[in-house]
Every structure is written in C-alpha cells, then in structure tokens.
C-alpha cells in the first residue's frame, strides 16, 4: 500500500508534538495543546500549499505577516474588558492564549512545511527547530545541572534514578521525530521496518551515551589547565611510591587578557568530606599543581628534583604517599576525603595538604570519570598560630632555597615589598608569616579583580600588573604576591587547584566543585608546617559575584558519589527504586500482554476452526461460499494465495495443474455469487471440497500441512 497521506500525517504529528513541547513550559497545558493543534493543521495545509503556485518568498512572507497580524489582533482582544466580562477573567485569558498560540503557530508551520517540501535542503531548518524545541523543554539541565528542571528531575530522583536518562531519552525521541519529518517512504510496511531500524540506531546512540562507550561531554580546561586529558607523560598512573620526578613545565598557567569565562557553573568534581572540617581561612583549597621555578617571565613547574614533591603527577592505581607531605600536629589535622571526578583532570587534586592518594571504586561509572580517596593534613590554626616560625626548610640546599626565592630582576619588587612590610610592628617585622600576610592584605586592598586585563603582551606581565593598573585575575595576584614575598626573603610559590567557600557546603558533607572555582594562589613555606596558603582576596572586583552552587545538585551528586540511592530533595522518604518500578511495570505489562496473546491465539484458533467447520453447518445458499472459503484457507496454509490483482478465476487457473477440483469449486462459488441458480447440491460441493483436500495431500508433505494447520493466523492470507 502506498500512500502520501501517511507521510503528511506523520509530519503534522511531529509539528504538533514539537510545538506543544515548546509551549508547555511557557504557558498552560490548554495553550500547549492549542499550539500543537495549530502547528499540526498548518503542517497538513503546508503540504498542499507546497503544490500551489505561490512563490516561495511570498509564502514565507505571508506566513510571517499572518502570524504577526494574528498576534497583534489577539493582543488587542486580550485587553478587551467587555469580552472578559462575558467569561470569567481567567477563562477569557486562557481562551485568548490558546487562540493566540494556536493561530500563530498555524501560518508559521504552514509556511515552514510548504517551503521544506518544496526545497528539500531546507529540511535542516525543520531539524534545527524541532531539536531546539525538544531540547528547550529541559534546557535548564545544561552545564551539568542534571537536577533540573525540577519538575522532571525530581520524580526521577525520588525513585532513585538518574535524571540524565530522561535527557538522553528525549534526545532519542527527538531523533525519531526529526526522522519522521525527513522520511519520504510511502510504503507502510517498509516505513515500519525503517523506523524499527532507526529505533535501534537511537538505542545504540543512547546506550553509548549513557554507558560511556561514546565520548562524553567535556568542559573547557580553562586558563589554569586543571581539566582536560592528561598528556602522555602525565597519564602514567602512580603505583606504590610513585615515579621519580619528571619535568612538570605546565604551559597552561599563562597570563591571559581574556580569561575563559564559559561554563563556570559546569560541575567538574564532587568532594566528600569524611569528617567535619572548617578551614581557618573559610575557604577549602584543593591543590592540584605548583609553580615555583622562575623562567624569566613567569613561574613554571620546577624541573629540579627534590622540589615540590607534594604535587603528584599521575592518578593512583592503588595507594600513593605524597613525599614531603606535612605531618599532623598542633597546626594540622588528618582529614580523609573522597574525590569523584566528573571531568578529566590532568592531575589528581586534594584538600591541601594531601598526604596520600588512594584509588577507590567508582560507584557510578556512567557519571564519574574516576574516584579516589585523599588523606590530607589540613591546616587547623589561623595565621596567628603560625607566627614565630621560620621560613623554609632546613633540609633544603642553598640551590633549593634560591629556587623558591627567585624573582624578576626588576628592583621595584623589592622596593615595594620593603614598603609594605615597613608598616609592620617592629617586634614582629621579621616574622615570615606576618610579612606574607601583610603583602596579601596590601594586594587585596590595592588590586582590582577582573578576568579582563591588558598585561599578557608585556615582557613581565606581573610587573605590568603590579606597577600598572593592578587589574587582573588570580594568576596576576598569585604571581605578584609570590614575587613580593620572595623579595622579603619568604620562600613562596604559586599553587593551582580549586577554591571553594566553606559556606558553599551548606551544611552537607559534599562539596561541589565547578569549573568556575579554578584558582591560583600564593603559598609560603614555614618550618614544621609546610606550604601554607596565603591567598589574596581582592576587595574590589569588576566581575559579577559568582553564583552560589546549586545545593540540590551538590547533594544529588554527593549521593551518587557515595553510591547510594538519591533521596528526594524535599526530605520525604524515597519512593520505589526505579529498577523495582520497572520490574513491577514489566511484570504487570508482561502478564497482561501474555493473557492478551493467549486470548488472541484462542480467538484465532476458534475463528480458524469455525471457518473449517462452517461447510458442514451451512445452508444451501451459503454452502458454495463457505466451502470455497474453507478450501481457500487450506491452500493458504501451504502458501498458495491469490496475488494482488489476480482474479479468483485466474488463481484457480494458475493452480489448476495441482488442484483441478479447486477450479470447479471456484466456478461454482463465482457463479453462486453472481446469482446462478444452478443447483449443484451439497453433495457435489462437498465432493469437490474433498477433492481439493486430497489433491493438497498429494501435493504437500504432512509436515508442511501440519505446520500450516498450527499457524493460527493463516486464514488472514486467504483472499
């Protein structure tokens, strides 16, 4: 069967569905339905309009103008108090809204459908619009906010499911819908088969997406080079004590005039704190890299053995103990945490200061790239408790110390540093921690934070920043602070990683790290304490304050990282686990489908039996018909059926060689149908029918006949 109405109807259905999905979040359900209906009707009319002689530009213009006029006219109607008085105000508004969306969608859909039918290449507009309409329905989940939109995600979470499945399923549905717009197959049978094949393709794509077989989305690495694929050198996993020091010249820590500001809210990791810990500075610092070697322009990863050994190069396969890690004591406490990475990272990071890294089982490989545990020696005392300690490590050689004190030859650094520390009280003027603190505070007071600056092209970007407008971002501040600290004899370096305000925890134990939390900060080395963060927090900023992390998303990802079922956001008891729900639904559906199949089989066998039995019970008038029908069923059982367009007589003639009795039976049946009153009598008819059965027995083997008899729907083929 060939029919173009089927394609037109499917196309109209797709238009209606996509439009309704687009309008649904914007307006009432009735309005979405009206919009869908308008678009569906428009698509149907567009199919006809494409064959009209109206020129394409005129068609497009007419559609747009009609939509505009309708929108304006109904806008005026909506302001009519008289009409609103006739109905209830809410009913009137609902009606006008439904009319507005429905009648505006109609000409637009008509024009688009007609143009796309006329110019086949324009189908990409339909594909783009259709995909955009479907994705817009759940657009809030972009940038990793998989707990949004709440009305869709919450029910999934409440039954222990991952909302991402819904987004993937919607993507698959979008492919099917868009394929229906493109398809031009007119044969229903082939169309069904082709859509079946398409479903397989979509399932493959969806399965690949959800199981990680195919590459998954990757957030931008940003200017600090924290995320991204580890390079070949860094990708070597650490075993046991780890490998020896290799060159760690990280070129990603570069001064940029326009630091990337995209995907700031994209989650890149979740950290689960195993103990309650409040950092004295109010900020959690997760250190990933360190830059201490001055290369004449900026600080890079050291190339010397024995320095910065607290930075681990590769991800742990089992346990990696960090060398030169500070020991727990009065100022530090041991803290365990679990880091679940949502995006690839170049190195592992941990709450400063990491003591060991240990690989952990990934509870949700579909969601997390890698999971590892970190034991940190976290700072517990504030800077006042760190006063009185000398700077540097007695184990360092002179070269090591010189490395941590190297700075540009520009004398202004030392001059400025001296000026800053001059204000310190005389009795503590030589305290390294106080010097570092004073420099940090001075920079926080004098500097202005902005991701847009103009220092990158300078030969010494830090000097250009520090002795210029003092407008820059964390890399500028960290370098400036480090150079100034070094200028007053305090060993310092720049560390990179993530900085999260303690308030972002919002009482939970999970800390959500987004790509916007990437940060660079200065650190100083104090004898017996190790590297201590002395971050600069500028008081002035030209950029908007970062949005607080999504508490629901933080909790959801924390639950997924723990490997437990997500709990409903409102604190209500969890619903039925989605796998249980699916199992119950499958059982329910399977039982009923099974019953329905059994009933259908019984009904088919009964019908088949009745058609076979009917000649024995038929009256004289109906006997020719039912006898012929019964023999036709028997022939259909063994695969002998009339072809399309073949008359009954031609069919009988075709099989005459094997079934001569059938020809006579056909003649009697046709004659009876045309009103022949020639009475052949029931015995003669039954004799002919018996003849057909005998001829069938001779022509076909018993197993073939038995197989045919067992097929309950064989009589459907008889015609």
Query: What residue ranges bind another protein (CB under 8 A)?
Result: 53-55, 58, 120-121, 123-124, 127-128, 131, 134-135, 137-139, 141-144, 146, 164, 167-168, 170-172, 174-175, 178-179, 182-185, 190, 193-194, 197-198, 201-202, 204-206, 208-209, 214, 217-220, 262-263, 266
The distance of closest approach from Cβ of residue 264 to another protein in the complex, given in angstroms and rounded to an integer, is: 12
CB of 110 to another protein, least distance (A): 15
Q: Which is nearer to another protein, 207 or 577 (CB)?
A: 207
Contacts of 547 by beta carbon, 8 Å cutoff, 6+ apart: 265
Q: How far is the CB of 553 from another protein (least distance, A)?
A: 12
Give the nearer residue to another protein in terms of CB position, either 78 or 198.
198
Q: For another protein, give the closer residue by CB, 268 or 405.
A: 268
Min CB(579)–another protein separation in Å: 20
Q: How far is the CB of 444 from another protein (least distance, A)?
A: 34
Please compute, for residue 325, the number of CA atoms within 13 A of its CA located in the half-sphere on the CB side. Answer: 26
Between residues 182 and 604, which has the closer beta carbon with respect to another protein? 182
Cβ at position 58, least distance to another protein in Å:
5
Q: How far is the CB of 268 from another protein (least distance, A)?
A: 11
Supply the minimum distance, in Å, between the C-beta of residue 308 and another protein: 33
Q: Please identify, using beta-carbon distances, which residue of 171 and 306 lies nearer to another protein.
A: 171
* Cβ-based nearer residue to another protein, 144 or 160: 144
Indicate the Cα dihedral angle 488, 491, 495, 498, nearest 10°. Answer: -80
Whole-number minimum distance, CB 227 to another protein, in Å? Answer: 13
Query: Rounded to the nearest 10 degrees, what angle do helices 164-182 and 4-23 cross at?
Result: 140
Q: Which CB atom, from 58 or from 650, has the smaller least distance to another protein?
A: 58
**Quick one: 173 or 456, whose CB is closer to another protein?**
173
Nearer to another protein, 538 or 549 (CB): 549
> What is the Cα–Cα distance from 685 to 690, expressed in whole angstroms?
9
What b-and-e string marks burial along 438-462, b requiring 16 or more CB atoms within 10 Å of the CB? bbbebbbeebebbbebebbeeebbb
In order of 260, 261, 286, the CA distances from 361 in angstroms are 33, 33, 21
Q: Is 520 helix (H, G, I), strand (E, B) or coil?
A: strand
Toward another protein, which CB reaches closer, 216 or 304? 216
- Of 501, 541, 496, which is closest to residue 519 (Cα–Cα)? 496
The sign of the CA dihedral 569, 571, 572, 577 is positive
What are the tokens at 329? Answer: 């004591």
Dihedrals φ, ψ of 518, to 5°?
-60, 140
C-beta of 124: minimal distance to another protein in Å?
A: 4
Instruction: Spell 3-38 as b/e; 16+ CB within 10 A means b.
Output: eeebbbbbbbbbbbbbbbbbbbeebbeebbbbbbbb
Q: By C-beta, is 204 or 713 nearer to another protein?
A: 204
Which residues sit opposite 472 in a β-bridge?
449
Residue 424, classed as helix, strand or coil, is coil
Structure tokens at 412: 């202004």
Please state, in angstroms and rounded to a whole number, the distance separating the CA atoms of residues 696 and 338: 77
- In the complex, least distance from residue 582 CB atom to another protein, rounded to whole angstroms: 20
Shortest distance in whole angstroms from residue 197 CB to another protein: 5
Residues 6+ apart with CB under 8 A from 554: 270, 504, 506, 508, 510, 511, 512
Query: Closer CB to another protein, residue 198 or residue 699?
Result: 198
The kind and range of the H/E element at 513 are: strand 510-514
Closest to another protein by CB, 131 or 671: 131
How many angstroms separate the CA atoms of 448 and 537, rounded?
A: 10
Specify the residue, 168 or 700, whose C-beta has the smaller distance to another protein: 168
Residue ranges of the alpha helices (H) in 396-525? 398-405, 411-422, 432-446, 461-466, 474-487
Indicate the SS3 state at residue 501: strand
The single residue listed with the structure tokens 């064989």 is 714
Q: Count Cβ atoms below 10 Å from residue 538 Cβ, excluding itself.
A: 20
Residue 155: count other Cβ atoms within 10 Å of its Cβ: 15
CA–CA separation, 114 vs 53, rounded Å? 11
**Minimal distance, residue 173 CB to another protein, in Å:** 9
Instruction: Return the H-helix or E-strand segment holding 609.
Output: helix 578-617
- Minimum CB separation from another protein for residue 332, in Å? 37
Q: What's the token pair of residue 438?
A: 């004073």
CA atoms lying within 13 Å on the CB side of residue 438: 23
């Amino acid at each position: 069967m060939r029919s173009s109405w089927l394609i037109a109807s499917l196309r109209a259905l797709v238009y209606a569905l996509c439009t309704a999905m687009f309008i649904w979040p914007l307006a009432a359900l009735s309005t979405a339905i009206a919009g869908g209906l308008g678009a569906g009707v428009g698509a149907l009319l567009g199919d006809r309009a494409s064959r009209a002689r109206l020129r394409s530009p005129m068609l497009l213009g007419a559609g747009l103008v009609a939509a505009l006029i309708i929108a304006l006219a109904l806008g005026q109607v909506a302001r009519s108090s008289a009409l609103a008085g006739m109905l209830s105000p809410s009913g009137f508004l609902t009606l006008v809204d439904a009319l507005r969306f429905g009648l505006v969608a109609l000409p637009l859909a008509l024009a688009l459908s007609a143009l796309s039918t006329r110019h086949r290449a324009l189908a990409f507009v339909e594909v783009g619009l259709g995909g955009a309409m479907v994705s817009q329905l759940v657009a809030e989940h972009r940038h990793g906010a998989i707990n949004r939109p709440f009305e869709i995600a919450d029910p999934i979470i409440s039954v222990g499911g991952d909302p991402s499945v819904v987004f993937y399923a919607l993507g698959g549905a979008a492919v099917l819908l868009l394929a229906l717009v493109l398809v031009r197959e007119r044969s229903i049978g082939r169309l069904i088969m082709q859509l079946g094949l398409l479903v397989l393709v979509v399932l493959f794509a969806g399965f690949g997406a959800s199981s990680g077989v195919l590459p998954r989305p990757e957030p931008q690495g940003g200017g600090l080079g924290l995320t991204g694929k580890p390079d070949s050198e860094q990708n070597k996993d650490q075993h046991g004590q780890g490998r020896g020091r290799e060159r760690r010249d990280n070129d990603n820590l570069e001064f940029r005039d326009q630091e990337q500001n995209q995907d700031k809210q994209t989650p890149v990791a979740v950290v689960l704190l195993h103990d309650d810990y409040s950092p004295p500075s109010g900020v959690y610092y997760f250190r990933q890299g360190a830059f201490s070697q001055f290369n004449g322009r900026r600080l890079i990863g050291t190339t010397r053995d024995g320095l910065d050994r607290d930075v681990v190069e590769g991800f742990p396969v089992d346990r990696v103990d960090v060398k030169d890690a500070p020991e727990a004591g009065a100022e530090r406490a041991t803290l365990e945490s679990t880091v679940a990475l949502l995006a690839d990272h170049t190195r592992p990071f941990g709450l400063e200061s990491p003591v060991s890294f240990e690989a952990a089982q990934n509870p949700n490989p579909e969601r997390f790239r890698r999971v590892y545990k970190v034991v940190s020696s976290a700072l517990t005392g504030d800077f006042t408790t760190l006063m009185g300690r000398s700077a540097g490590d007695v184990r360092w050689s002179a070269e090591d110390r010189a490395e941590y004190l190297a700075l540009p030859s520009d004398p202004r650094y030392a001059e400025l540093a001296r000026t800053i520390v001059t204000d310190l009280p005389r009795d503590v003027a030589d305290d390294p921690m106080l010097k570092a603190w004073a420099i940090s505070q001075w920079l926080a007071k004098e500097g202005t934070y902005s991701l847009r600056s103009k220092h990158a092209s300078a030969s010494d970007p830090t000097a250009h920043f520090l002795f210029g407008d003092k407008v820059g971002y964390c890399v500028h501040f960290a370098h400036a602070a480090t150079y100034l600290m070094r200028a007053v004899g305090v060993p310092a370096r720049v560390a990179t990683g993530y900085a999260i305000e303690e308030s972002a925890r919002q009482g939970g134990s999970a800390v959500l790290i987004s790509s916007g939390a990437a940060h660079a900060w200065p650190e100083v080395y104090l004898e017996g304490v190790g590297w201590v963060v002395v971050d600069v927090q500028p008081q002035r900023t030209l950029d908007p304050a970062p949005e607080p992390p999504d508490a629901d998303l933080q909790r959801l990802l924390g639950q997924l990282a723990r490997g437990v079922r997500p709990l409903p956001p409102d604190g209500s008891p969890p619903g039925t686990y989605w796998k249980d729900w699916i199992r119950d639904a499958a059982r329910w559906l399977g039982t009923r489908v099974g019953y329905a199949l059994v009933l259908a089989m019984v009904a088919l066998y009964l019908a088949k039996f009745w058609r076979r039995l009917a000649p024995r019970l038929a009256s004289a008038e109906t006997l020719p018909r039912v006898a012929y029908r019964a023999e036709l069923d028997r022939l259909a059982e063994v695969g002998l059926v009339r072809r399309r367009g073949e008359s009954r007589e031609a069919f009988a003639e075709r099989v005459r060689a094997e079934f001569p009795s059938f020809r006579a039976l056909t003649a009697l049946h046709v004659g009876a149908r045309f009103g022949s009153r020639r009475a052949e009598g029931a015995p003669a008819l039954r004799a002919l029918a018996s003849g057909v059965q005998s001829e069938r027995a001779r022509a076909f083997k018993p197993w073939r006949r038995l197989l045919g008899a067992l097929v309950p729907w064989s009589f459907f083929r008889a015609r």
